[in-house]
């Protein structure tokens, strides 16, 4: 019985995280997802920083992540990464976080 409850709770929390991760971002704001060693440290590093609207802690597969909604007019993605790197928790920025970056051309 306990196993059924735990599996149900795990599935429900996963569904909730997926729904929250795909939720609409308010107009004028952007979303970035950072893989981190500890999402609590990442959230603390970004707390109160200019341009950061919200930080949602969670998981992406087996990685802890911070999903950040921010104002790209007030803070750059590079600056967000810099704040995380200063705390030694930053691992990487998930690919979808840079939707407007031009694709690199490959030489043939």
Task: Give the angle subtended at the CA of 62 by the CAs of 71 and 33, to the nearest 5°.
Answer: 10
pLDDT over threshold 60, residue 64 = yes
Say if residue 69 is exposed, middle or buried (CB neighbours under 10 Å; 0-12, 13-18, 19+).
middle
Alpha helices in the chain (DSSP H): 2-21, 39-46, 77-86
> pLDDT tens digits for 32-58?
999 999 999 999 999 999 999 999 999
pLDDT over threshold 80, residue 103 = no
> Residue 47 is encoded by which pair of tokens?
């707390």
- List residues bridging with 91 in a β-sheet: none
d(C-alpha 41, C-alpha 26), whole Å: 25
pLDDT category at 95 given cuts 50, 70, 90 is confident
Report residue 96: phi and psi, to 5°: -65, -10
Class of domain 25-97: alpha beta
């Amino acid at each position: 019985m306990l196993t059924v409850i735990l599996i149900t709770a795990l599935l429900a929390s996963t569904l909730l995280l997926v729904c929250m991760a795909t939720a609409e971002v308010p107009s004028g704001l952007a979303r970035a997802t950072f893989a981190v060693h500890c999402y609590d440290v990442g959230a603390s590093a970004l707390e109160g920083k200019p341009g950061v609207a919200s930080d949602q802690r969670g998981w992406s597969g087996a990685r802890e992540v911070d999903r950040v909604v921010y104002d790209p007019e007030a803070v750059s993605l590079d600056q967000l990464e810099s704040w995380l790197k200063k705390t030694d928790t930053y691992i990487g920025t998930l690919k979808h976080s840079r939707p407007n970056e031009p694709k690199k051309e490959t030489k043939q």
